[in-house]
Structure 1
Amino acid sequence: MSVQPAALQIPPGATPAPGTGSSFARRFGKWSPRWLALPFPLFLLLLWYVAARFEWVAPQVLPSPQAVLLTFIDLAASGEMFDNLRISLLRVLLGFGVGLAGGLLLGVAMGLSPVFKDYVYPLFKAFSQVPVLGWLPLLMLLVGIDEALKVILISKAALVPIALNTYKGIENVPARYVDVAKVLKFSRWQLLTRVIFPAALPPIWNGVRYGFTHAWLALVVVELLASSEGLGYMIVFGRQLFQLDVVMAAVVVVGAVGYTLDRVLAHIEIILLGWRRSGF
């Protein structure tokens, strides 16, 4: 058994002096998570620059970051990038709105009515297992390749997580909350608005965020396959002409816009669910 030197022994109950073993942990703990997330993407950017600079990959396949930046500036100056971005945003907002309304109605109905759930839930689960692309050939025959096709597929992608999270959120409301409401003789409307929906709001909002993420992904997929405008079309058009700088510029915009919209939803969540931090 090894014995710790007397100079290094710490009496029981004493705390280490500042700057001994925990100074690095304290300094590291002061870093914001946002700063901690920067090194890896910066490393990827550096690796991309080095690979393009020394032509580890052919420039026709991997354009340099400078080339992509210049292409983005040109597309933005001409208005082409923003025109396609506007079209994509309108599509995803319309499809997400339809999916949001349908998902909330369906989730609330399944959560509040056991009979309705028994009839609908098995079919809904089967419907949700079919990916967005699985419906594409059938819908192309039924509605063509116009805007209706894109809105239906985007709304389907958003509806599934919203409906599931809404149903599960209502179903998992603690029974003791309902018992207290009955003791207080709440009406059914008061029970829904003051107990059920506030308690189920966190999972419902999670479903809204997941639904929007799925809608954004479905938008890009649909535009890749059946569209003549939008960010997804820019990616396909650039690939067909072997303009990889256009492809990568559009991909960067897709990622940046999707991330920004998700952060907006996260900020709204903090506002809506701020009451949870008050202890009530």
Structure 2
Amino acid sequence: MSSITASGIGHAPAEPASRSTATTAPWRRWAQRWIAWPFPLLILLLWYLGAEYEWIAPQVLPSPAAVWATLVDLFRTGEIWGHLQVSLLRVFGGFALGLAVGGALGIAMGLSPVFKDYVYPLFKAFSQVPVLGWLPLLMLLVGIDEALKIILIAKAALVPIALNTYKGIQGVPTRYIEVARVLRFTRWQLLTKVVFPSAFAPIWNGVRYGFTHAWLALVVVELLASSEGIGFLIVYGRQLFQLDVVLAAVVVVGFVGFVLDKALALIEVRLTRWRRAGF
């Protein structure tokens, strides 16, 4: 017979967790946390052995110790900070532009079927051209100064933001819209209280993907047309055949990208706290 409990009517009280489940839970949490470490550690070990036993010439593959020493020296002298500041300003500027244009485009396509019918085919064709495909044309139009870099970074961020925003709005359940109409919501109330909160998760995924694409595009653009920035530092090290500088800059690129993505994930947790509290 079902019983009446504090958790609801018709639900039997929860059985206490078995000893085996309680014992294996910490192990599972530990495994999920550390399961990603063996592979990169193996790569690092192979790198160390390859440099130690000179499987590859030291001029081509510097040792991890040499790269670490170069990295410390770049931070100690402050050289890396100047390049990193320039790169961050570029990526945030391009991302902000891509977020504004991509968000507006995705909202318009999601809310207006007529606008979507006119624009979506052209947008799909636009999105299929990679960032570097626009480089020659933009160099003729805006030159090789900062505007070129900002536009290319914005293009990289724009596509995933627009697509995820459009699909998020299209994915709002119809029953939510029907309930809002029964409650006589105005159009503004419908958007702010139903559509955007329901579509927040895919929209934010688009923001994260957009920032990742913007960071990748930044490095590519700086590799081709720049006199400062992290990408320029990589090119500079390659031109002087200083592979330790190249690898040190690559480590910085990976670490900064990882930290920025984690920061966006933490922001998402804070922004979606109201959704978890409602369940």
User: Normalised by the size of structure 1, how large is the TM-score?
Assistant: 0.90
CA distance in 1, matches of 2:252, 2:33: 20
Letter in 2 for 1:64: S
Measured after TM superposition, the shift of residue 169 of structure 1 is 0.5
Measured after TM superposition, the shift of residue 267 of structure 1 is 0.6
**Map of 1:92 onto structure 2:** 91
**Map of 1:8 onto structure 2:** none
**Alignment deviations for residues 51-84 of structure 1 (CA, whole Å, 9 cap, x no partner):** 1111111000000011001111111111111110
CA distance in 1, matches of 2:168, 2:22: 43
CA distance in 2, matches of 1:152, 1:278: 40
Measured after TM superposition, the shift of residue 277 of structure 1 is 2.4
Letter in 2 for 1:41: P
Letter in 1 for 2:195: I
**Alignment deviations for residues 124-150 of structure 1 (CA, whole Å, 9 cap, x no partner):** 111001000000011111111100000
**Alignment deviations for residues 239-277 of structure 1 (CA, whole Å, 9 cap, x no partner):** 111100000000000000000000000111111122332
**Alignment deviations for residues 187-222 of structure 1 (CA, whole Å, 9 cap, x no partner):** 111101000000010000000000000000000000
Measured after TM superposition, the shift of residue 88 of structure 1 is 0.3
**Map of 1:41 onto structure 2:** 40
The equivalences for 1:50-129 within 5 A come to 50-129=49-128
**Map of 1:256 onto structure 2:** 255
CA distance in 1, matches of 2:135, 2:56: 35
**Map of 1:5 onto structure 2:** none
The equivalences for 1:69-218 within 5 A come to 69-218=68-217
CA distance in 1, matches of 2:96, 2:152: 12
CA distance in 2, matches of 1:185, 1:152: 42
Sort the Cα spacing of 1:25 and 1:55 in 2 relative to 1 into closer, same or farther, 3 A.
farther
Measured after TM superposition, the shift of residue 26 of structure 1 is 5.2
CA distance in 1, matches of 2:68, 2:266: 29
Structure 2 SS opposite 1:249: helix
CA distance in 2, matches of 1:100, 1:26: 41
The equivalences for 1:235-250 within 5 A come to 235-250=234-249
CA distance in 1, matches of 2:137, 2:83: 27
**Map of 2:8 onto structure 1:** none
CA distance in 2, matches of 1:47, 1:144: 44
**Alignment deviations for residues 99-140 of structure 1 (CA, whole Å, 9 cap, x no partner):** 001111111111111111111111111100100000001111
Q: Percent identity?
A: 71
**Alignment deviations for residues 28-69 of structure 1 (CA, whole Å, 9 cap, x no partner):** 313153322222212211111111111111000000011001
**Map of 1:227 onto structure 2:** 226
CA distance in 1, matches of 2:44, 2:54: 15
Measured after TM superposition, the shift of residue 18 of structure 1 is 6.5
CA distance in 2, matches of 1:41, 1:58: 22
Gaps of 5+ in 1: 1-16
Gaps of 5+ in 2: 1-17
Instruction: Spell out structure 1 runs of 4+ moving beyond 6 A.
Output: none
**Map of 2:276 onto structure 1:** 277
Aligned residues: 262
CA distance in 1, matches of 2:105, 2:36: 38
Letter in 2 for 1:114: P
Sort the Cα spacing of 1:150 and 1:274 in 2 relative to 1 into closer, same or farther, 3 A.
same
Structure 2 SS opposite 1:190: helix
Sort the Cα spacing of 1:268 and 1:240 in 2 relative to 1 into closer, same or farther, 3 A.
same
CA distance in 2, matches of 1:56, 1:94: 43
Sort the Cα spacing of 1:114 and 1:30 in 2 relative to 1 into closer, same or farther, 3 A.
closer
